[in-house]
Structure 1
Amino acid sequence: MVQKAILLDDQAISRALTRIAHEIIERNKGIDNCILVGIKTRGIHLAKRLAERIEQIEGKPIVVGELDITLYRDDLTKKTADQEPLVKGSDIPVNITNMKVILIDDVLFTGRTVRAALDALIDIGRPAQIQLAVLADRGHRELPIRADFVGKNIPTSNSEKIVVELIEIDKVDQVSIHEK
């Protein structure tokens, strides 16, 4: 893969997350009865950053959970033909039944990751509502899924890939577009 351009640098990512935090608070009329749930791996780090911003704005913390969708993926047999899937486990510290769950992920593409996350959440409890926040939406949906909160819409071709790098994992904060 060849990098074509950096679409979001560290400051742009920070601004996008601050905007999403404000939108989450506004849409939910505060954060009562809300939980942020990051989809492993990068969604967790984005959820933690959103929680920090929401706490700065609201003056009180919001619960953050981690969701592992490995066993819910519809491409599990393709990805794990040679080896067992690596299950990292979910960590949802509260009962999500009757809560507003805001799922957090880095990139929304076909919608299949989100579908798997919905299945995983429903196995854990029955939320009052599930919302979706993503840093980047690149289009090309295969399922009828849309994000409620989007950092940046990035129209792409099928020959392109969006790469999200976060300081917690990759030692840099940036979103770039690559040619396959």
Structure 2
Amino acid sequence: MTLPEIPPLLDAMVAELEAAISERGLDRQRLALVGIHTGGVWIADVLHRRLALSTMPGTLDIGFWRDDFSHQGLPETIRTSHLPFDVNERDLILVDDVVMSGRTIRAALNELFDYGRPRCVLLAALISLPGRELPIQPDICGAHLELAAGDRVKLSGPEPLSLSLVPRPQEAS
């Protein structure tokens, strides 16, 4: 199987995640990836192929678990969460594309624990940005970035995966 083309900078960040996961020496029979829709799912799929894991990755849609409906509004689309394995006593790597406030990860953990009690959960993020509102930090990170005020990073995909810098939408006054 050939891997999809990934631009060099993005490939280097994914390779950093792959190496950091491999260095942890986790039991591959107990290990499973869980991607957060949508970018985290794309990254989890690439990591799954690179790590040659036998357990298919799971997906989480945390749309109804968010605590910021008053700021963000209700989600436009809801996808189903799918965990094709028993999470109990499993070593899970929760995968997201960008971690900034920590609210998406908090929501993902709430949903994840509705499925059972994993042995441990590690957080892998392609990119970590400043701006935490909750005490949540990635255990494994492809890159730590600082952006100009008003800018944000957007992962597009799934094939090809690409990163772009886009201005943050202005909030209505």
Give the corresponding residue for 1:178: 166
Q: Are residue 16 (structure 1) and residue 13 (structure 2) matched? A: yes
Calculate the aligned-residue CA RMSD, in Å.
Answer: 1.9
Deviation, 1:159, is 1.7
Structure 1 contact 72–117 (Cα < 8 Å) conserved: yes
Query: Which structure shows the bigger proportion of residues in helix conformation?
Result: 1
Structure 2 contact 32–93 (Cα < 8 Å) conserved: yes
Normalising to structure 1: TM-score of the pair? 0.82
Give the corresponding residue for 1:134: 125
Q: Are residue 151 (structure 1) and residue 142 (structure 2) matched? A: yes
Deviation, 1:166, is 2.4
Give the corresponding residue for 1:32: 29
Structure 2 contact 42–158 (Cα < 8 Å) conserved: no
Output one character per residue of 1:102-149: Cα deviation in whole Å (capped at 9) or x when no partner: 011110010000000000001111111111111111111000000011
- Gaps of at least 5 residues in structure 1 are 1-8
Normalising to structure 2: TM-score of the pair? 0.85
Matched residue count: 163
- Alpha-carbon separation, structure 1, partners of 2:105 and 2:141: 14
Structure 2 contact 90–120 (Cα < 8 Å) conserved: yes
Give the corresponding residue for 2:61: 68
Structure 1 contact 25–31 (Cα < 8 Å) conserved: no
Percentage of pairs with the same residue: 31
Output one character per residue of 1:18-38: Cα deviation in whole Å (capped at 9) or x when no partner: 221121122143423111000
User: Pick from 45, 50, 53: which aligns with 2:47?
Assistant: 50
Structure 1 contact 37–66 (Cα < 8 Å) conserved: yes
- Alpha-carbon separation, structure 1, partners of 2:158 and 2:62: 23
- Gaps of at least 5 residues in structure 2 are 1-5, 169-173
After superposition, the Cα gap between the structure-2 partners of 1:160 and 1:102, relative to the gap in structure 1 and judged at 3 Å, is: same
Q: Where do residues 158-169 of structure 1 align in structure 2 (5 Å cutoff)?
A: 158-168=149-159
Query: Which structure shows the bigger proportion of residues in strand conformation?
Result: 1
Question: Where in structure 1 do 4 or more consecutive aligned residues deviate above 4 Å?
Answer: none
